[in-house]
A and B are shown apart, each in its own frame.
Chain A
Amino acid sequence: MKYRYLRMLMALTLMFTWLSFRSDAVFAAGSCKNVTCEGLNPNTMGCPAVTSGSIKILPDGLSTVETRKSTSVNCDAKWARTYNWSGGSRYVAASLRYGCSNYCYNQSVTSPNTIPSGSQVYTPMHAYEATPTRSCGDVSISAIPIPIGISSTWCTGAN
């Protein structure tokens, strides 16, 4: 009788411990979280994301830059994405600006070569969705120096 209770207790312990770890493995959304996302490629981390704030349409009237965010219940991070919709192959760059009163820090990326219309680049991730940011982008026939400076022509509003 005693051993029956012991066996039941052991079985319960094993069951709930297994369930706890199983739930972690199945439902985790994204492979990083805030500071562990810093500098990582958002395209390989599996973070659910949405657009943060407005999408800026670049001076060609077609290409776009936007801030993407993965909320604090997911990866808790932000990054910038620039889309080349110019109709031709172009150099494409993006900067996520943050920090100081003038967004003095950045995570930036530029394509090493031209990429086709319909392609995009992502900056590395920056920790915390609550960080005030602006995203800047450029699409050009010549190589683009980074980071891209803050301006209302190339950058989204604060988000």
Chain B
Amino acid sequence: MQPKKNNLLFMLIAGLLIVTVMTSIGFYISRPQTMALASGNIAKQSLPNQVKPVDISAQQSPNKLSQTNNDVTIEITSAKIIDTGIEIGICYTAVDNGEWYPRPGHLFYSAYEVYPDEIEFTSETKADKNNLGRRCALIRYRIDDLQNVVTPIQFSITGLYAPQREMYSACQEFQQRLDTNPKANAYGLKAKCTEMGNGAVSIELVDHGKSVNNEKAKNTLNEIAKGDVVGTWEFTITDLTK
């Protein structure tokens, strides 16, 4: 009688545990799928990009306008008359995986000067520690009287900046950009970041490779910390499509 009771008890416990294991496995399997999606953007921002080096100059056709300043190449990809004015397409180097924004200058033609109105990002390849990134955007200028638009048009980008992303603290933002900057990687830069309050940070160079002297390493680190590349990149556009 006793062994029968034991067997029944064993079956009951085993059955209960099998159900629990199956539920646990099911729960576990369901979690990674949700979380993989949820973490998709983080992965994009923190993991090395598999896209090969972005060499803007190598991709341009002879008709494309392109200029390089402070390691950043800006290329004009299109220039159009649209319903609301003029739209200029650009692609530019992203020196790290920061969210790099262009600062468009005024547009000049004939005796007119027009302020920029809108920026719209169209594509992005994130930088990683081995490869520069590339961002493309459309810059729009609002012009009421399109009849008066004549070429040539003077267009410029006065600078690029990388604002702090909401998901990161100031030091996390700096560290992300340092870790994905090919120049910092080549120079072997290591830094210590301290938050000073009000979004300000104090950056200290901790180590650098032998290929670079201390002064150059510090200058490069300061440039990365600033998140601002000053131009100007100036273009004369002679063809406008409609």
Contacts and interface: CB of A to CB of B under 8 A. Distances in A.
Judged by DSSP, the binding face of A is mixed
Interface stretch (B36-44, B62-70, B233-241): B36-44
Contacts of B35: 23-24, 26-28
A51 interface: yes
A29 B41 contact: yes
Contacts, number: 112
B10 A6 contact: yes
Interface string B24-44: 110110011001111111100
Contacts of A16: 21, 24-25, 27-28
B118 interface: yes
Interface residues on B, range: 35 or more
B101 interface: yes
A120 B118 contact: no
A47 B166 contact: yes
A17 B14 CA distance: 17
Given A27-B36, A57-B115, 4 more contacts: A23-B32, A48-B41, A54-B120, A62-B103
8 contacts: A6-B10, A9-B14, A16-B21, A24-B31, A29-B38, A54-B119, A54-B140, A119-B199
Interface of A: 2, 5-6, 9-10, 12-13, 15-17, 19-20, 23-24, 26-30, 42-43, 45-51, 53-57, 59, 61-62, 64, 68, 71, 73-74, 83, 85, 119-120, 122, 156-157
